[in-house]
Amino acid sequence: MAIVVFILIAGLWAAFLLPSFFDQRRQAPSSTTKDFARTRQLLASVSASHPDGAQYVRLHAQRRRARILAGLGITAAVTLGVATWTGAVPWLWATIFVDLVIAGYVTVLLAVKRQKFVPRAAVVPIASASSERAAAVEIPSIPETATVRVIAG
């Protein structure tokens, strides 16, 4: 009986003393900087969730692509599992088809990514090139058949 009373008294003391101990530690400088960083991160995520921003569109496009790729991967695994379990050739063909769709999807994603980073050359329309500039480029000592004119480039 004495042990039960001792445990109850210790529990009451802990119930009153531990919250004040943790409140004092919460006001420590390291925790306030962590709170500030957490708040700043929350504000950054809120500002990135603006539906008109480019970052918002890019983030949701990445998520959509990841979901599509994960769905295709799960479908490939399930069809392969069913093909192995049942031994049916049509399920094996379905697995191969899904694998080809995954390969095509990844190829399209890589082509789009590669196309983003290709530098665009400035193209000057032929109609806007003046005849004075073309006359200044001509070299009189070389016959006309041997000259090369660079129009856009």
Secondary-structure percent of the chain, ordered helix, strand, coil, rounded to 5: 80, 0, 20
User: Which tokens in the block code for residue 6?
Assistant: 């001792």
CB 149 within 8 A of CB 137: yes
* pLDDT value at residue 127: 65
Would you say residue 70 has pLDDT above 60?
A: yes
Rounded mean pLDDT of the chain? 76
Total structural domains in the chain? Answer: 2
pLDDT digit string, tens, across residues 15-63: 777 777 666 655 566 667 777 788 888 877 766 566 677 777 788 888 9
pLDDT digit string, tens, across residues 135-147: 555 555 555 555 6
What pTM did the predictor assign? 0.46
Task: Give the mean pLDDT of 10-14.
Answer: 75
Sorted by sequence, the CB contacts under 8 Å of residue 139 that are 6+ apart come out as 147
What is the largest distance, in Å, between two alpha-carbon atoms of the chain?
119
For residue 135, being part of any structural domain is answered with no
Would you say residue 87 has pLDDT above 80?
A: yes
33 and 14 in a single domain? The answer is: yes
Task: Please tell me the distance from the alpha carbon of residue 13 to that of residue 5, in angstroms, as a whole number.
Answer: 12
80 and 105 in a single domain? The answer is: yes
Amino acid at 64: R
**Residue 29, domain extent:** 1-48
27 and 78 in a single domain? The answer is: no
Sorted by sequence, the CB contacts under 8 Å of residue 123 that are 6+ apart come out as 152
80 and 23 in a single domain? The answer is: no
60 and 111 in a single domain? The answer is: yes
Angle at 61 between CA 96 and CA 42, to 5 degrees: 135
34 and 65 in a single domain? The answer is: no
